[in-house]
Structure 1
Amino acid sequence: MTKAIDLLKTSVVLLFVGVALTACERRAADDTTSQSSGAQSARLESAGSSSRSDSGSEASSTLQRAERAVDDSVLTTKAKSALLADTTVKGSEVNVETNKGVVTLSGAVENERQRERVASIVRGIDGVKSVENKMTLKK
């Protein structure tokens, strides 16, 4: 069930990337269409090219956010998969969230050894910048 949810999350992120790219392409096409109109003055053309660079900057920013979301989603998926594969840790009891490469772990484990093992596994994943271990011990 957890794997299905992770797959669904990844699919949603990829859908977001596709929508963002489509919106950027539409905006660029709209800018091109408005620039080709013969009724515009030189002043408007100058403003249009400024608008194009603003749109390009905005599109680049949107693309960067989408790429970061995909990267974070991939890191979260890798971390959860690695935890599920480990026999020392019960991966389903560990919550994993990633933001800009920083992985936050929460949930409860049986003992300090498991707590450290979870953090160690996640630190070993390529692309993880740091790990915030907020896991608690079960009472």
Structure 2
Amino acid sequence: MHDNTGGGTLPEVADLQAALTALGIENPQLEVHGERSELASWSGNIHGNAVNIIVDGVGSGHDEVRVMLDDFTFEDVRKRHLRPFLHKVFTGEARVTRSRLLWSKGLLLEVRIDARTYSADVSGDSADSLAPWARPLLTTS
């Protein structure tokens, strides 16, 4: 892991590493970027599918971060939810539904943690519009 903090691992980065380890990734190495170490990224395979994860705001004093999973961008994810967030997405506890985005069709990925629901969408209307890891999450209704 590349860490610009000049000290130990940031708590959010440790949570991301723990979440990836729980998903079967051995010794996940995250890259931490920025003068204040505000961006953490990881690319690799989870359950045989290529995944790119970027978390923006890890070294900030804010309680929330932006999480990017391939084409999905989740705003305002609570830092304390990072570990269960990734767990739910990559163990099938999240869901993708079809939605309408003004004049176009979209696919909405929702992750529920406690009383909070995080959502992000991509354009498209079929499983082919999704990254392979997200396809099993698509509901039929």
TM-score, scaled relative to structure 1: 0.29
Could you say which structure has the higher strand fraction? 2
Larger radius of gyration: 1
Higher helix share: 1
TM-score under structure 2 length normalisation:
0.28
